[in-house]
Amino acid sequence: MLSVQPRPPVDYSLCNQTVTVYHQNDDKTVARTVYENAFLDFRKNQNINKTGSTESNSFLLVIPGSVSLSVGDKVLLGIGPTSIAWADYIPSKVPGLVVIKYVDPKYWRGVQCHVEAGG
């Protein structure tokens, strides 16, 4: 008998944004995937130390389901171009572009329910 896993008690109604994820393969080709059910939140952080304060930017990306993201992938809010020059496609040149620094799959009852990534 096939067991059906109930849906996790998570509300994905805020995952209503479109993002484009670019991944560079081992052979240096670039794969492009568009996700239409994502949540991308940009954050500004204030770091205070002995010499003063500095501002830094970070982000949180949530994509429901079992998706494959990797550290180093590039993410653009919206639908991005179909092809890019990997080395030139950087956040300082492309508004809204971020680079993934960590990937954290989340599970419920042994099944991956979404992936969180950020930087």
pLDDT at 94 over 90: yes
Mean pLDDT across the chain: 90
- Answer yes or no: are the C-beta atoms of 73 and 89 closer than 8 Å: no
Average pLDDT over residues 103-113: 91
Distance CA 117, CA 119 (A): 7
Q: What does the pLDDT read at residue 109? A: 84
CB 39 within 8 A of CB 75: no
Dihedral, CA of residue 48, residue 57, residue 12 and residue 111, to nearest 10: -80
Provide the residue ranges of all domains of the chain, joining segments of one domain with +: 17-118
The amino acid present at 94, given as its one-letter code, is: V
* % of the chain exceeding 90 in pLDDT: 73
The tens digit of pLDDT for each residue in 8-61 reads 677 899 999 999 999 999 999 999 999 999 999 998 777 777 776 766 679 999
Strand partners, 58: 43
